[in-house]
């Protein structure tokens, strides 16, 4: 991160009389907690109140994170006013922004902080690093460089950002994210406490996920698991059915998992996982994308048609 960029960041916060912050639509742990952490940092270090905005749904598991109550649904905020400064975090591409867009378009200055690859950034200033495991990690190192104060709330929020986006460090590719967490733990963060804070799903969600798992079909001598979330089950789900994917992935011999979700009458979500083999090309063939072993797509077609299509693409896969 360039010293010049950080200087602009500080000047813009100092000069702003109105500040709004948002992450991507349907916030995940990193998106939500980096927004709240940044707002808390601005309060602590500049004594300014930033408005925290979201669109879509915040998963129930995040209800207990500190200062969660500060998040305001976009339609309850006057976004037509011109903010002096708008932050947009963890958004990836424009179409993940949702209802916050008018605030970005009307803002006098936009700063983005992101760790997604993005060829079309919107910020007047971009504090992006696609090598970072979470936006929380980028914020941690900004705070460190600028010698900003951080309190227990900030520490816990950054820790939840990192823990959720790295799957409790399973997806960390660099030591820097572990070193950030090491500092946070030395400063009082309790990882076990935060893990329990996130154990907050509604009973019906877990029972639905368990039912979906129990109805899973297996092909290719048990190497391919196909699970289906129908229209009724989809209503009871919180997030993307991660528990289904996690449970099926623990079964001996399962290499590939397909999770089909009836999102709307003619819209089917597809999540693909593998233990070692690349599956992102299959997701791309469905119009989606992702990582080598974790990818997905949203297909505008019925669940039955999409199921047939995906199984076809998996034919020939060992
Ligand atoms: Mn993220």
Residues surrounding ion ligand 1 at CB below 5 Å? 30, 90, 165
In 3D space, the residue among 115, 94, 123 whose CA is nearest the CA of residue 162 turns out to be 115
**How far apart are the CA of 197 and the centre of ligand 1, in A?**
19
Beta bridge partners of 53: 22, 72
Is the distance from CB of 102 to CB of 127 less than 8 angstroms? no
**How far apart are the CA of 280 and the centre of ligand 1, in A?**
19
Identify the residue whose tokens are 């946070």: 184
Task: Domain ranges for the chain, please list them.
Answer: 3-197, 203-314
**How far apart are the CA of 73 and the centre of ligand 1, in A?**
20
At the second CATH level, the architecture of 203-314 is Roll (3.10)
Dihedral of CA 92/95/100/103: which sign? positive
Identify the residue whose tokens are 């996130």: 198
The topology (CATH level 3) of 3-197 is inorganic pyrophosphatase (n-terminal core) (3.90.1640)
**How far apart are the CA of 291 and the centre of ligand 1, in A?**
14
Banded pLDDT at 25 (limits 50, 70, 90) = very high
**Tokens representing residue 275 in the block:** 């233990």
**How far apart are the CA of 115 and the centre of ligand 1, in A?**
6
- In this prediction, residue 239 carries a pLDDT of 64
In whole angstroms, what is the distance from residue 176 CA to residue 161 CA? 14
224-229 and 125-126: which strand pairing?
Answer: unpaired
In whole angstroms, what is the distance from residue 202 CA to residue 237 CA? 9
- In this prediction, residue 317 carries a pLDDT of 79
Tens-digit pLDDT profile for residues 48-102: 999 999 999 999 999 999 999 999 999 999 999 999 999 999 999 998 999 999 9
Tens-digit pLDDT profile for residues 227-282: 999 988 888 886 678 889 999 999 999 999 999 999 999 999 999 999 999 999 99
């Amino acid at each position: 991160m360039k010293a010049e960029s950080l200087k602009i960041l500080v000047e813009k916060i100092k000069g702003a009389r109105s500040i709004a912050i948002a992450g991507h639509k349907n916030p995940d742990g990193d998106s939500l907690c980096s927004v709240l952490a940044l707002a808390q940092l601005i309060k602590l270090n500049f004594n300014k109140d930033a408005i925290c905005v979201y669109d879509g749904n915040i998963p129930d598991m995040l209800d207990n994170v500190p200062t969660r109550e500060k998040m305001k649904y976009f339609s309850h905020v006057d976004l037509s006013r011109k903010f002096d400064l708008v932050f947009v975090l963890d958004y990836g591409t424009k179409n993940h922004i949702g209802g916050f867009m008018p605030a970005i378009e009307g803002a006098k200055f936009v700063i983005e902080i992101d760790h997604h690859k993005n060829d079309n950034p919107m910020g007047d200033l971009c504090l992006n690093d696609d090598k970072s495991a979470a936006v929380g990690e980028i914020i941690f190192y900004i705070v460190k460089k600028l010698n900003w104060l951080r309190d227990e709330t900030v520490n816990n929020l950054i820790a939840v950002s990192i823990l959720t986006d790295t799957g409790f460090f399973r997806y960390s590719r660099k030591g820097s994210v572990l070193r950030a967490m090491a500092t946070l733990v030395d400063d009082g963060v309790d990882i076990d406490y935060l893990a329990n804070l996130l154990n907050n799903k509604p009973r019906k969600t877990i029972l639905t996920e368990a039912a979906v798992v129990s109805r899973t079909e297996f092909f290719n001598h048990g190497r391919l698991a196909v699970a289906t979330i129908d229209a009724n089950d989809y209503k009871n789900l919180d997030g993307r059915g991660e528990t289904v994917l996690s449970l099926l992935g623990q079964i001996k011999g399962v290499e590939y998992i397909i999770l089909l979700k009836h999102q709307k009458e003619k819209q089917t979500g597809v999540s693909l996982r593998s233990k070692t083999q690349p599956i992102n090309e299959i997701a791309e063939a469905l119009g989606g994308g992702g990582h080598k072993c974790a990818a997905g797509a949203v297909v505008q077609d019925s669940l039955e048609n999409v199921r047939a299509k995906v199984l076809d693409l998996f034919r020939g896969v060992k």
